[in-house]
Structure 1
Amino acid sequence: MSSLLKIRAERDQMSAIERRIADFLLDNAHLLRDYSSQQLADALGISQSSVVKFSQKLGFKGYPDLKYSIGQAVARSGGGDEGVAAVATVDDPRALLAEHLWQLKAQAEAETQLINPGERIDAIAALLQQAGKVYVIGLGEDGIPARAFATRLSMLGIVTVHYVDAVLMQAGVSSAGPGDVLMVFSEHGRQPALCQISRVFRERVGKVVTVTRHTPNPLRAYADASLLVSAHDERRHVEPLLYQSALQHLLDLIFLLLCDTSEGRRRQLDLNLERMQDLLDT
């Protein structure tokens, strides 16, 4: 697993000093061979021990091991850049833009996969598979993936209750009971209304699954299970594209698990697709 990938994936959970180190390593990975731990500390105005602790927190014995791993990652990525040039030359700016965007999305999806262990994904899929009812909510832009996923669940024959309004969802969850699941989509996890709904839902012995960025946020405190998304870019118009792509990949994986673990669900999906096609053909 790439050390640079691990740093990106874990950045949101780091302290302020750790983020400074992480950002420096990500921005200057190709120059890192010229830096000792003391030189890196001097460049950032921090103690050498902070650099060593940062390396150990990532699972390395020390800074030399981390530096070597980053050097290996940079060497491996060198071939990828040549491949891009072969596919898209400077004479084809649209192809260059498309290739770069694809790489950024692939990176975000890899980071997201890293912070969502397989056993967690399996557990969430099992919760949805066994749920009596699945309540789904997302406000604003979070409502788009929430609605799409709720539709997919209903196509599989899972009883799904979807709201785009927090007040209506507050009333809706009054009928929730043991075995029901609430999925809350909130990129930053800061809406007080969604925290309140999640708290009430857990009090009714339902299970709460939150879908947020990989950041400390109030909503995750009410979660029985969390789906986490890692997607970063300094450009404000690009970062949401990466978040949506990584989130969609994560939700697609859960959908496939639901299909693959139940032949009955697949038959229900086929039946619903046929019925929809019949309506479209009439």
Structure 2
Amino acid sequence: MSPASPLLKIRVERDRMSAIERRIGDFVLENAHLLRDYSSQQLAGALGISQSSVVKFSQKLGFRGYPDLKFSVGESVARDREPATPAAAVRSETPAIADALWTAKTHADAATRSLNPEADLQVIADLLHGAGRVIVVGSGEDNVAARVFALRLSLLGIGAAYHPDPALAASQVAGLAAGDLLALFSEQGRQPALLQLAKLAHERGARVLSATRHSSNPLRTRADHALLVSAHDAQPHVAMLLYQAALQQLLDVIVVQVCALPGRQALLADHQARMRRLLDP
């Protein structure tokens, strides 16, 4: 699926849509392979809405009308079927599995990049560069990316600390102040403990960065800056891998941006030299 795919457009714009537009968008996403069989009147009837709502929805996405939207969706579905899917590849040779997974990761990365403009990531990099302290919290499957992110920030000379347990992190968050940053990693963005940490950080004058799926979730709405990941697949184990890969790429871009800021590469070189002396005296 290319970055201009109508299905990607719907995912990107969904949170800014009205209730009726979300119903249409969700129907298109869930029935993309069947959309060619639906006229605008039939689609409106299936959703219990007016035909004009379907036309306006199509135009809002940049199409002249519903026929253009339907044609574009059909093209996207056909493109996505060209490479072997991970499900089919499992029954084939290992290279086919690798190629299919790489294609799926590429799609997830393109969708995620469209949700996180480079300029927005630069704002986050600048915030990290100027932060007095950075606390990174991620539990469960989110702890891997969170721990690596904190480590890399530390290597760049940023005072970053990682906590896998939100409850134990509360005492550290209580010590934050203006100019500090709390980074919270949660795929679904619904952990009550993380929401409490965000509230506590704001009470101390610190800013909050969240990393979640591109969905309506309470953690995203409470963050000052939000990293959004779009990674979808019908198979849960593949969707999990796509999410982790797209998130890691997003964080890597921020690390590269921080490295470009004054003094950071020198600090990195110094820390790496110290680590080499410790590991290989």
TM-score, shorter chain, exceeding 0.5: yes
Counterpart residue identity of residue 267, structure 2? Q
Change (3 A) 1:31 1:222: closer
Q: Within 2, Cα distance between the matches of 1:235 and 1:19? A: 23
Change (3 A) 1:150 1:91: closer
- The root-mean-square deviation of aligned C-alpha atoms, in Å, is 2.9
| 2:204 maps to 1:204 | yes
Q: How does 1:91-102 map to 2 (within 5 A)?
A: 93-102=93-102
Counterpart residue identity of residue 203, structure 1? E
Q: Within 1, Cα distance between the matches of 2:91 and 2:76? A: 29
Q: Which residue of 2 aligns with 1:221?
A: 221
Q: CA deviation at 1:65?
A: 3.5
Q: Which residue of 2 aligns with 1:114?
A: 114
TM-score, with length taken from structure 2? 0.85
DSSP 3-state at the match of 1:167: helix
TM-score, with length taken from structure 1? 0.85
Q: Which residue of 2 aligns with 1:66?
A: 69
Match of 1:6 among 9, 16, 33: 9
Q: Within 2, Cα distance between the matches of 1:110 and 1:19? A: 22
Q: Which residue of 2 aligns with 1:190?
A: 190
Q: Which residue of 2 aligns with 1:278?
A: 277
Any stretches of 5+ residues in structure 2 without a counterpart?
A: none
DSSP 3-state at the match of 1:226: strand
Q: Which residue of 1 aligns with 2:165?
A: 165
Deviations 1:25-71, CA, capped at 9 Å, x for gaps = 45665665564322443466654234224323424343234234435
**Range with bigger deviation, 54-63 or 170-179:** 54-63
Q: Within 1, Cα distance between the matches of 2:59 and 2:273? A: 55
CA contact (8 A) 1:184 1:208 kept: yes
Deviations 1:220-256, CA, capped at 9 Å, x for gaps = 2321110011111121211111110110010011011
Change (3 A) 1:229 1:91: closer
DSSP 3-state at the match of 1:122: helix
Q: Which residue of 1 aligns with 2:103?
A: 103
CA contact (8 A) 1:134 1:181 kept: yes
Deviations 1:119-148, CA, capped at 9 Å, x for gaps = 221111111111111111011111111110
Q: Which residue of 2 aligns with 1:236?
A: 236
Q: Which residue of 1 aligns with 2:44?
A: 41
Change (3 A) 1:208 1:93: same
Q: Which residue of 2 aligns with 1:125?
A: 125
Q: How does 1:18-29 map to 2 (within 5 A)?
A: 18=21, 21-22=24-25, 25-26=28-29
Q: Within 2, Cα distance between the matches of 1:22 and 1:245? A: 26
Q: CA deviation at 1:104?
A: 1.0
Any stretches of 5+ residues in structure 1 without a counterpart?
A: none
Q: CA deviation at 1:210?
A: 0.7
Q: Which residue of 2 aligns with 1:146?
A: 146
Q: Within 2, Cα distance between the matches of 1:268 and 1:8? A: 40
Change (3 A) 1:29 1:165: closer
CA contact (8 A) 2:90 2:97 kept: no
DSSP 3-state at the match of 2:157: coil
CA contact (8 A) 1:13 1:214 kept: no
Change (3 A) 1:100 1:108: same
Counterpart residue identity of residue 44, structure 2? A
Q: CA deviation at 1:74?
A: 5.7
What is the number of equivalent residue pairs in this alignment?
Answer: 276
Q: Which residue of 2 aligns with 1:54?
A: 57
**Range with bigger deviation, 173-182 or 4-13:** 4-13
CA contact (8 A) 2:139 2:164 kept: yes
- What's the % identity of the aligned pairs? 55
Deviations 1:160-197, CA, capped at 9 Å, x for gaps = 12211222211012221110011000111111111111
**Range with bigger deviation, 22-31 or 245-254:** 22-31
